[in-house]
Amino acid sequence: RLFHQYHKTFAALNFSDYEAISRCEQEVPEYFNFASDVLDKWSQIEKRRMGPSNPALWWINEKGDETKWSFEELAFLSQKVANVLSGPCGLQRGDRVLVILPRIPEWWLLNVACMRTGVVIIPGTTQLTAQDICYRLLASKAKCIITTDVLALAVDSVASKCQFLKTKLIVSESSRAEWLNFSDLL
């Protein structure tokens, strides 16, 4: 089936690998990590120029501003974000982080970085209220929350009730007391 007029730019689907796995003819890794097993491989292919140089992420906001990252750039940036999570944020494999962001490029970086580090990401909609955020923080025992200026006030109003919450990371141009700034750390 053709979904796009420029269908020739996409690789043909090959289901033989899936069939080989179901027949146990192909080795399935014991530990699979999308960031290292897929994204980093595409990054290596891109570096060797063995594959097309299509963007890994191409984001455009309502004003027309765009962010376009290659696989190599996405891999590199997600490694930097993984370092932020495991360094200043103090997160380790199995820790939980509540991420309440609109679908901006940082949202994608945080998803891949969590996969890299083994941190459990709990995505939340930007429509959450302070009570909703408090419930999710308590139920999940999240050690970190990542959000924007819009919800930072709501988080601050309930943070004292959430004994497991250790780190607050804000994705913003400006600073906020008791919050780490994502851009500064990156």
| Model pLDDT, residue 86 | 96
Max distance between CA atoms of the chain, in angstroms, equals: 56
- Determine the average pLDDT of the residues in 3-18: 48
* Residue 57 maps to a domain: yes
* Residue 161 maps to a domain: yes
Banded pLDDT at 38 (limits 50, 70, 90): confident
- Determine the average pLDDT of the residues in 15-30: 63
Structure tokens at 146: 């990542």
* Residue 71 maps to a domain: yes
Domain hosting residue 155, numbered range: 34-181
**Per-residue pLDDT tens over the stretch 86-114:** 999 999 999 999 999 998 999 999 999 99
Q: 159: number of CA atoms within 13 Å, CB side? A: 19
What does the alpha-carbon distance between residue 118 and residue 91 come to, in Å, rounded to a whole number?
9
Classified as helix, coil or strand, 87 is coil
| Model pLDDT, residue 71 | 87
* Residue 70 maps to a domain: yes
* Residue 12 maps to a domain: no
Domain count, the chain: 1
Helix (H) or strand (E) segment spanning residue 47: helix 40-47
- Determine the average pLDDT of the residues in 143-148: 97
Asked whether the predicted pLDDT for residue 9 surpasses 70, the reply is no
**Per-residue pLDDT tens over the stretch 47-100:** 787 656 778 889 898 999 999 988 888 999 999 999 999 999 999 999 999 999
What does the alpha-carbon distance between residue 101 and residue 155 come to, in Å, rounded to a whole number?
13
Nearby residues of 83 by Cβ (< 8 Å), 6 or more positions away? none
Structure tokens at 90: 């103090």
pTM over 0.85: no
What does the alpha-carbon distance between residue 161 and residue 34 come to, in Å, rounded to a whole number?
35
- Better-predicted residue by pLDDT, 1 or 186: 186
Q: What is the CATH number of the domain that holds 56?
A: 3.40.50.980
Asked whether the predicted pLDDT for residue 18 surpasses 60, the reply is no
What does the alpha-carbon distance between residue 77 and residue 108 come to, in Å, rounded to a whole number?
10
* Residue 6 maps to a domain: no
* Residue 175 maps to a domain: yes
* Residue 115 maps to a domain: yes
